[in-house]
Amino acid sequence: MGRPPPWSPPWSPAPAIRLSAGLHALAAAGAVAQPARWPWLLGGVAANHLLLGLTGAWPQTRLLGPNLVRLPAACARRGEIALTFDDGPDPRLTPAVLDLLDAWGAKASFFCIGRRASAHPALIREIAARGHGVENHSHAHAGAFACYTPAALHRDLMRAQTAIGGITGRPPAFFRPPMGVRSPLLDPALNRLGLRQVTWTRRGYDAVCGDAGAVLRRLSRGLAGGDVLLLHDGGGAAARRSRPVVLDVLPALLDRIAAAGLKSVPLHTALA
């Protein structure tokens, strides 16, 4: 499990990465041709790195590589949306989320943390058995994930692929970076493992906001076919001392999805 699939296309750098590489080459050539200008050239390279870092902090950017923020047009025409859940599995919260989804006949995609999957394999099998997708949300969900070296990125992704794929029998096909923040070095690592990055059309901030009405408004305002919605079944959402707000938001959201004539499907079904 976790090996790169044979159909992975060769990696092609995104335009922003090509531009950055060209800038580095020009700076190196300039430093050789005019050594006295090295402080200015170094400043230009540093500014480039800062810009790349800020770009990676924008979850919906496609400047650093492919990034799915909406389902394809064909899914939108069929009235399909993607409900996605991050940071699980959690033995207290995930089963309740699964029961709510079952009650509305909805299917979702769960972006699971590899080490949590290893700790709760029966719960991962339950998610898959109920017809939902189990995808990669990194192995450790480290705050420094966006600063990892290429080797560390590959190692972390591979550990999550192996953990989840070993439990479900299907290595994840999709990846969501922790907090949605990506590194300029992430795209080749994803390509190597045949993973496709998915972020979201809109998020509810349910992991940090205790106001169910506000979370519901963020998720349902302008709700339409093709949307990718983000909620949480672990992490901050599960750690709240009071009742996790997702349990109050999800029934109302599923009602609105049904009233709009929409259907929630897992990513591996929508993008088959």
Average pLDDT over residues 141-168: 95
**Separation between Cα atoms, residue 243 and residue 225, nearest integer Å:** 30
Tokens of 51: 């810009």
90 counts as catalytic:
no
pLDDT (0 to 100) of residue 54: 62
pLDDT (0 to 100) of residue 2: 44
86 counts as catalytic:
yes
User: How many separate helices (H) and strands (E) can be counted in the chain?
Assistant: 12, 8
**If DSSP codes are grouped into helix, strand and coil, which group holds residue 174?**
strand
Per-residue pLDDT band at 234 (split at 50, 70, 90): very high
Per-residue pLDDT band at 187 (split at 50, 70, 90): very high
Per-residue pLDDT band at 46 (split at 50, 70, 90): low
Q: Is 187 exposed, middle or buried (0-12, 13-18, 19+ CB in 10 A)?
A: buried
Amino acid at 233: D
Mean pLDDT for the chain overall: 88
pLDDT (0 to 100) of residue 156: 97
Catalytic residue among 86, 87, 90, 233: 86
pLDDT at 63 over 50: yes
pLDDT (0 to 100) of residue 32: 75
3-state secondary structure labels for all residues of 221-263: CCCCCCEEEEEECCCHHHHCCCCCCHHHHHHHHHHHHHHCCCE
pLDDT at 4 over 50: no
pLDDT at 106 over 60: yes
**Which of 18-32, 53-67, 211-225 shows the highest mean pLDDT?**
211-225
Per-residue pLDDT band at 244 (split at 50, 70, 90): very high
Beta-carbon count within 10 A of 15 CB: 11
pLDDT at 96 over 60: yes
pLDDT at 173 over 70: yes
pLDDT at 27 over 70: no
Per-residue pLDDT band at 91 (split at 50, 70, 90): very high
pLDDT at 1 over 80: no
Catalytic residue among 141, 206, 232, 233: 232
Percent of the chain topping pLDDT 90: 68
**Which of 21-25, 29-33, 150-154 shows the highest mean pLDDT?**
150-154
